[in-house]
């Protein structure tokens, strides 16, 4: 797996928009516990984005520019949305590109890999996997497995936001995919510093967290991670 992010000015603009839309949540007393077991003083709720039409359009436009510049769309046959938060974003991208759209479930609803995919995904179809964000990457690993077992090919994943803090580089290594994101927590920190958008106590805690996310998580009840 490799990570590819957008230009700094675009990332800062996206980060500011996410803050203004209320997608960024801070806790000074009790940390957020992510599904992967890591803990964090901040949480990103990209599900709110569907309520902001202009922001939706701006993020889709920024994502398409990035993906086109990197030639990620040159041979894509269809878009696959990740259950559940990636489905709306995938629909917007598929409409903009006039491409078929499918979605992949977190778990199969029956027997066989095809029961994890909704739509008419064909063997050897080249797809772009779309989700709202990536934290530890474990759900993306499951989605990539399901897509590959259904006979399709995924080389690129697009997310609006990548936590970009936890040591998860090996999680998607088997699938040889590249993750493309518009913003990270470092961009949130940069945007918040330049604008009076966030409480200074929360901002200071985010800064401490970003200096050593693994140590911060362990100190606040997160999983114990050992280098493999």
Q: 34 labelled as ligand-binding?
A: no
Q: 105 labelled as ligand-binding?
A: yes
122 within 8 A of 152, measured Cβ to Cβ? yes
Structural class in CATH, domain 2-219: alpha beta
Q: 137 labelled as ligand-binding?
A: yes
- The structural domains of the chain, with segments of one domain joined by +, span 2-219
Q: 64 labelled as ligand-binding?
A: no
For the ranges 28-32, 57-61, 62-66, 151-155, the lowest mean pLDDT is seen at 28-32
143 within 8 A of 127, measured Cβ to Cβ? no
pTM of the model: 0.93
* pLDDT higher than threshold 80 for residue 145: yes
Q: 18 labelled as ligand-binding?
A: no
What's the whole-number average pLDDT of the chain?
90
* pLDDT higher than threshold 60 for residue 124: yes
Q: 138 labelled as ligand-binding?
A: yes
Q: 135 labelled as ligand-binding?
A: yes
172: pLDDT confidence band, cut at 50, 70 and 90?
confident
């Amino acid at each position: 797996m490799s990570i590819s992010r957008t230009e700094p000015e675009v990332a800062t603009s996206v980060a500011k928009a996410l803050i203004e839309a209320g997608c960024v949540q801070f806790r000074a007393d009790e940390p957020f516990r992510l599904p992967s077991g890591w803990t964090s003083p901040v949480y990103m709720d990209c599900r709110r984005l569907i309520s902001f039409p202009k922001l939706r359009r701006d993020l889709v436009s920024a994502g398409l520019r990035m993906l086109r510049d990197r030639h990620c769309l040159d041979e894509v046959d269809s878009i696959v949305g990740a259950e559940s938060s990636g489905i709306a974003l995938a629909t917007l991208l598929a409409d903009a590109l006039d491409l078929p759209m499918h979605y992949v479930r977190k778990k199969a609803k029956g027997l066989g890999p095809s029961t994890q995919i909704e739509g008419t995904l064909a063997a050897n179809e080249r797809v772009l996997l779309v989700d709202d964000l990536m934290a530890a990457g474990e759900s993306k690993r499951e989605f990539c497995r399901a897509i590959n077992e259904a006979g399709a090919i995924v080389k690129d994943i697009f997310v609006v936001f990548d936590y970009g803090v936890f040591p998860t580089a090996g999680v998607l290594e088997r699938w040889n995919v590249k993750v493309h994101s518009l913003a990270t927590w470092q961009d949130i920190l940069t945007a918040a510093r330049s604008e009076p958008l966030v409480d200074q106590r929360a901002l200071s805690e985010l800064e401490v967290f970003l200096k050593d996310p693994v140590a911060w998580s362990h100190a606040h009840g997160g999983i114990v991670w050992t280098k493999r």
